[in-house]
Amino acid sequence: MYRIAAGLSGMQFCVFHCDTGPNSRYDSDYKGIIDWGESLRAGFQNSYFDCYHDLGTALWAWQPSVILQYGYASKGALSLLFGARSRRIPVVHRGLLSPYRDPRTPALSRAWRMVRPLVLRMFDAHHFGGAYHQRVLSEAGISARRSFFVPYSVDTPHFSALADDPSQIAEACQIRQRLGWSAASPVLLFLAQHSWVKGPDIMLDIAAIGQRTMPDLKLIMAGNGVMTEHLKTQAGLKLRPGSWHFPGFVSSKKTVPWYLASDLVVFPSRYDTWSRAVNEAMLCRRACQVSHLVGAAGGLVDDGVNGMVVQGLEPNHHAESMLSYLRAPWDFRRRFGDEARNRALEFSYENHSNDLRRSFIETATNPTSRTAAQKHRFD
């Protein structure tokens, strides 16, 4: 999204950030630095700072006409918001908002829910990426005039092009061959952090239940994390020998063959503000089954049209939905895959670059928290 914003005509765009190296970010669920397989700073002007104080000092010196702030809960984020308001600089908020409480921090989540509407109303405008996020904004009293649909997406041209690349299709076939799985074997894919909140333990139970009536069912558990070794032990106890595989962490730029090697991608998360792997899988023409707690269930996955949304976390319910899909005729599943691709293409940054531009222009020229005139860096 930053690269597209930097390419919009008639404006200067710079990212001020405190992230780690150019190809990596610290991930608390992985408990370490993760290399995502590409430069996270290429394609747009950016400035790195060790702390929010230095970032703020440089930001005010840059004299922006409008600020796009990602989130509000991280350390130093609210001080930047207050600093912008004191200087009468309008701020557009972009963040991952869920109507559900984070089960990992119930007390903190409950506290944030009480103050969140007040914080959200301090911004001049908001991006929303899906129906769940729009609902949170609406409940906070944010008007439609101050809300802009800029989806939570991925590098859409990259995934859609690779999904049709013969070399990627051949690699997907090789994955099955190396594992000794036939082309006819139904394969489930779980691709996420191996952390409790993502539900990898639920995934194992879903597969185990499925194998009772579909003995040839296979499972790929891509990713790693604090639960990986425990999950491997449980897979050995619950699943048929030779029916499961843990390929380890797969960077985002190398996930396509794994999607293509699967028949259904499952996201049984206990909580997830979006899950961009859903976008990736759908661009690869793979239907996704998600729990209703996954943010992508609000606008991207259309239950019964391009994927399945399962209410709750009960493995039996997920297994029933999964088996129903895998038993359906090939033409039916292919239609689901085509619908998934079409929907994910609609959710691209490229399709909504005008909404991105409008969020900057309209907020800079018609702010709600600022009255003084200010120089704008727009044509």
- Cα 105 to Cα 18: distance, rounded to the nearest angstrom: 24
- Give me 316's structure tokens: 């039996």
Measured distance CA(339)–CA(330) in Å, rounded: 14
Q: What string of DSSP letters covers 292-322? A: TTBGGGTTTS-BTTTEEEESS--HHHHHHHH
What residues are paired with 125 via a beta bridge?
Answer: 92
Q: 241: buried, middle or exposed (CB in 10 Å: 19+, 13-18, 0-12)?
A: exposed
pLDDT reported for residue 52: 83
pLDDT of residue 253: 87
Compute the distance between CA of residue 129 and CA of residue 347 in angstroms, rounded to an integer. Answer: 9
What string of DSSP letters covers 248-278? E---GGG-HHHHHT-SEEEE--S-BS--THH
| Three-state secondary-structure class, residue 104 | coil
Q: How long, in residues, is the chain?
A: 379
- Identity of the amino acid at 258: W
| Confidence (pTM) | 0.92
Q: What was the pLDDT predicted at 292?
A: 97
Contact between 74 and 348 under an 8 Å Cβ cutoff? The reply is no
In this structure, what token pair is assigned to residue 247? 């390929």
Residues facing residue 67 across a β-bridge: 91
The dihedral sign for the CA sequence 114, 117, 122, 128: positive
Beta-bridge mates of residue 35: 24
Looking at residue 368, its pLDDT comes to 74
Q: Residue 223 region, left (φ>0) first, then alpha (ψ -120 to 50), else beta?
A: left
Cα–Cα distance for residue pair 149/156, rounded to 1 Å: 17
According to the model, what pLDDT value does residue 190 have?
98
List, in sequence order, the alpha helices (H) in 63-155: 77-86, 106-120, 131-139
- Helices (H) and strands (E) counted in the chain, each on its own, are 14, 14
β-bridge partners, 290? 267, 309
**What are the distances in angstroms from CA 372 to CA 67, 74, 285?**
16, 29, 50
Give the model's pLDDT for residue 372: 38
Q: Which residues of the chain are modeled with pLDDT < 50?
A: 370-379
As a whole number of angstroms, the distance between CA 373 and CA 331 comes to 60
pLDDT of residue 28: 64
Assigned token pair, 117: 């509407």
